[in-house]
Amino acid sequence: MITQSDFGKPRAVAVTALFSIQTLTGTCQREYESRAAVNTVVLHPNQKELISGDQNGNIRVWDLAANSCSCELVPEVDTAVRSLTVMWDGSMVVAANNRGTCYVWRLLKGTQTITCFEPLHKLQAHDGYILKCLLSPEFCDPNRYLATASSDRTVKIWNVDGFKLERTLVGHQRWVWDCVFSVDGAYLITASSDTTARLWTMSTGEAIRVYQGHHKATVCCALHDGAESAPS
């Protein structure tokens, strides 16, 4: 389990012992020092590196085995990195910031190592903050998408091949904080300060369900999608 903190220290529990440590002790196994509040963390698919983004605009790659920072990037000085997402195969990473910009890098070594970033694209996605960016899952291929959720009350869907805007999802009345794809990439769930969550179909960009019931901002969402039942 990975946690983040505004004290500037992302904390990580050893990935190989996630279940036993979390269940039995919950003991912090590693602590990584950052010089600014950590806004976002993501685990690389190789499960050997942790990537963090902070309030000062720094992106750091932490080697979980060496227990040290192996790489540091500053795409835009003094502009907070709000969200990070890594392609399921470890080939790409996207960072989104408070100025509505996405920075895209190709990860040259895929799932084996994450030591070399190659700049791929800079995308001015929104006029307001980007609060969440998310690359589509494995089974969405051959159509790969990037979703960006923003304080401008919209979610935009970008085709990763060329980063062309596919569609804009309009309907939320306040900031959109979070989004999650279905496992096949056919649907997207969003969460907003307007107290609702919405289910969108990617084929048309229409909201086919609006989930109401919260009395305050809905700031995160998760989807239990087609998981098989545990064997009896």
Q: Provide the residue ranges of all domains of the chain, joining segments of one domain with +.
A: 39-211
How many of the other CB atoms lie within 10 Å of CB of 231?
4
Q: Is 39-211 a CATH 1.10.10.10 domain?
A: no
Structure tokens at 165: 């805007």
pLDDT of residue 17: 32
Question: What pLDDT score does 19 carry?
Answer: 32
pLDDT value at position 5? 56
Q: Rounded to whole angstroms, what are the CA distances from 176 to 28, 47, 67, 71, 208?
A: 32, 29, 35, 31, 17
pTM of the model: 0.86
* Res 15: pLDDT: 37
> Which stretches of the chain score pLDDT less than 70?
1-26, 109-115, 141, 227-232
Q: Would you state the pLDDT for residue 20?
A: 31
Please give the pLDDT value at position 58. Answer: 96
Please state whether 92 falls in left (phi above 0), alpha (psi between -120 and 50) or beta. Answer: beta
**Whole-number pLDDT of residue 89:** 92
